[in-house]
Structure 1
Amino acid sequence: MAKVITFGNFKGGTGKTTNSAMIGHELARQGHKVLLIDLDPQANATALYLLTKQRLEDKVVTFDKTLMSAIAEENLEDIVLEIKDNLYLLPSFADFTSYPLFLEKKFPDSQFDRVAYFSKLITPLKSKFDFILIDVPPTLSSYTDSALYSSDYTIIVLQTQERSLVGAEAYVKYLQELIDNYHADFDILGVLPVLLKNNAAVDISTLENAKESFGEQNLFKTVVKNMERLKRYDLIGIVDPEVDKSADMHDKRVLNLYKNVTTELLERLDEKGALNNE
C-alpha cells in the first residue's frame, strides 16, 4: 500500500515542485514504484515530467481527457501516465482551476465531504504504487486540503529566507486545524531546507531560526543546495547521468544530492515504522 506524502509551504517559490519531482524521480530510480500527483493548476510538475518523458522517448505527449474530466467521472486511472520505469504522473491541466467550484456544487452542504472527496478518488491507486507524492499550490485552498486529507505524511519545504520560514510556521498551524476539524490522519515527516544562496549569512541564520522553531531533529540533515542545473531541468527535463550520455558533472552532483535526500526520507519513514509493510 502506497505511502502518500504531500510537499507543502504557504510561501510560493520555495522549491516544493522541484523537490517532489526530484525525490519521485530518485525513488523510481531506486526501484520503488512512484506516482506524482500534480494538484497545482499551474501544472509545473506536469510540465517538468512531460519534458522528462519527451527527453527519453523523443515524442510529444497528448491527452484525451483532463484531470477535471477524470475527477468528474471518478476514475483517475484513465489519465495516469508512465514517465519512465517505475515513475508515473497524474497530470494537472488549466481547467483544474474549476476544482473548488466543482466541489461546492457536488457537496453544497458539507465542507467535510469536499475535503475528503479526493482521498476517495485515489484509494484505488494506493495498491498500485509504493509512493504517491503530491505537489500543491502555496495557498490555503481546496487543493491543499484535499492533498493533506489524503496523505499519510507531509514534508515542509523550507527555503532559507524569512518569508518562507513564516509560511512554514503558518503551514504547521494549519495542519493542526485540519487534524482538529476533519480528523485528518497524517504526520510531519520533516522539514527539508532549501538554500537560497549557498553558505550566505541569511541562509545560515534562517536555518538556526528553523531549528529553534521546529526542533533540530525535525529538520532533514541533508540540505538542498542552490544548483543552477535544477533550473535547467525546467527547460529540458530531468537528466539521469546513469542512462543519459549527455550528462555532465553537474547532473551527477544533482543525482548524488537527491540520493542523499531520498535516503534520509526512507530512514525517517523507517523510524516511524512506515516501511514494515513493504
Structure 2
Amino acid sequence: MSAKTLNFANFKGGVGKTTTGVMVATLLSKFGHKTLVVDFDPQGNASEMLMLTSGKQTIPKTIYEGIQDQTLMDCVMEIDENLDLIPSDMDLVGLPLYLNKTAKNDMEKRAYLMDFLLEPLKEQYDYIIIDAPPTISDYTNNAVVASDYVILVMQTHPWSYRATEKFVPYLQEMIDSYGTSIELLGIVPVLLKKDSKTDIKILENASAKYDTHLFESTIMIRERVKRYATTGITNDLIHDRKIRQMYGSLLKEILERIEQLNHVKQQ
C-alpha cells in the first residue's frame, strides 16, 4: 500500500474545495479505502467539519506542532472507520516564519517539507487528501509538491474561472521548478444555479478551453451542503442521500481517471 495523494485546489476562496475534498474523503472511507485528510489551512475548516461529524472536541496535536516536531505521526486522529485526520488550527499561520528560520534560502527544502513529513504515513493509507488555503503561498506550494494529483474546484463565477486560469500555469511552473510528477486530474465545475445564463456561459467557456480536463460530474450548491459546516456530515435524511449521490458520481470519475493515468504510465 502506498497512498495516492490528492489536492483539491483553487486560488479563489469560497468555491467549495474544502467541502468537496472532505466529501470525497468521507466517501472513499465508506467504500473501504483507508483515507487520511491533511488539513493544511490555518482556518481549519476541514478539521471543523470532520470533528463535528465525529463528535470529537479535542485533538492530539495540530499539524503545526507536528511540523515543529518533524513528525506528523502523533497528530493523526481517528474520525471514523477508515477515515483519519491531521487537524489544523490558527497556529499554522506561523509556517512562513518557521520556514524562514529553517529553510530561508533553500527553496526546494522549503517546498518539500510536507512531502517529507507525509512520506512515513503513505504506507498506512490508500488515499491522502490535502486541503490548503486558496493562495499562492508556502501552503499551496507544499500541498502541490506533496500531491500526486491536483483537482481544481471551479465555481461557475467569473472570479473563480479566472482563478482557475491562473492555477493551471502555476501548476506547470511548479512541475518545471521542482521536477514533480504531479498530474492535473481535472477541473470540477461547481454550479451556483443550474439554469443561470452566467453559469452556463462559464461552463461552456471552460469546456472549450479545458476540454477533457473538465469533469463530466458537476457539483450543485445546495443548502444541505452548507449546513454541514455547522452540523458535520449527516447521513440520515433523503437530502443527505442526494448529496452522497452527487459527490459519489464525482468520486467514481476521479477513480476512473486515476486508473486511466496509471494504465498509461505502465505501458
TM range (shorter): over 0.9
Q: Distance in 1 between matches of 2:205 and 2:67?
A: 41
Structure 1 equivalent of residue 230 of structure 2: 235
Alignment deviations for residues 20-45 of structure 1 (CA, whole Å, 9 cap, x no partner): 00000011111101101111101100
Report whether the alignment pairs 1:42 with 2:31: no
Q: Distance in 1 between matches of 2:24 and 2:264?
A: 17
Structure 2 equivalent of residue 7 of structure 1: 8
Q: 1:214 deviation in Å?
A: 1.2
Q: Distance in 2 between matches of 1:196 and 1:137?
A: 21
**Aligned with residue 84 of structure 1, among 76, 80, 84:** 80
Q: Distance in 2 between matches of 1:114 and 1:196?
A: 37
Equivalences for residues 36-185 of structure 1 within 5 A: 36-54=37-55, 60-185=56-181
Structure 1 equivalent of residue 241 of structure 2: 252
Decide whether the 8 Å contact of 1:159 with 1:193 is kept in 2. Answer: yes
Structure 2 equivalent of residue 21 of structure 1: 22
> Which one is further off, 66-75 or 78-87?
66-75
Identity of aligned residues (%): 40
Q: Distance in 1 between matches of 2:225 and 2:265?
A: 33
Report whether the alignment pairs 1:264 with 2:253: yes
Alignment deviations for residues 164-208 of structure 1 (CA, whole Å, 9 cap, x no partner): 110001011100111111112200001001001122111111100
Q: 1:108 deviation in Å?
A: 2.2
Q: Distance in 1 between matches of 2:105 and 2:252?
A: 44
Decide whether the 8 Å contact of 1:198 with 1:226 is kept in 2. Answer: no
Decide whether the 8 Å contact of 1:194 with 1:225 is kept in 2. Answer: yes
Could you say what the CA RMSD is over the residues aligned between the two structures, in angstroms?
A: 1.5
Q: 1:252 deviation in Å?
A: 1.0
TM-score (norm 1): 0.92
Decide whether the 8 Å contact of 2:59 with 2:87 is kept in 1. Answer: no
| Counterpart secondary structure, 2:33 | coil
Q: Distance in 2 between matches of 1:174 and 1:111?
A: 16
TM-score (norm 2): 0.96
Matched AA of 1:67: I
Report whether the alignment pairs 1:199 with 2:195: yes
Q: Distance in 2 between matches of 1:148 and 1:274?
A: 22
| Counterpart secondary structure, 2:112 | helix
Q: Which runs of 5+ in 2 are unaligned?
A: none
Alignment deviations for residues 37-78 of structure 1 (CA, whole Å, 9 cap, x no partner): 111101100100000000xxxxx4213432211111111010
Decide whether the 8 Å contact of 2:60 with 2:77 is kept in 1. Answer: no
Alignment deviations for residues 2-25 of structure 1 (CA, whole Å, 9 cap, x no partner): 000111111111111000000000
Report whether the alignment pairs 1:224 with 2:225: no
Q: Which runs of 5+ in 1 are unaligned?
A: 55-59, 241-246
Q: Distance in 2 between matches of 1:130 and 1:87?
A: 11
Q: Taking structure 1 as reference, are residues 274 and 77 closer, same or farther at Cα in structure 2, changes over 3 Å only?
A: farther
Decide whether the 8 Å contact of 2:39 with 2:63 is kept in 1. Answer: no
Q: Distance in 2 between matches of 1:87 and 1:200?
A: 37
> Which one is further off, 202-211 or 64-73?
64-73
Q: Distance in 2 between matches of 1:271 and 1:232?
A: 35
Q: Distance in 1 between matches of 2:39 and 2:65?
A: 15
Decide whether the 8 Å contact of 2:59 with 2:77 is kept in 1. Answer: no
Q: 1:274 deviation in Å?
A: 6.8
Tell me how many residue pairs correspond in the alignment.
265
Report whether the alignment pairs 1:273 with 2:262: yes
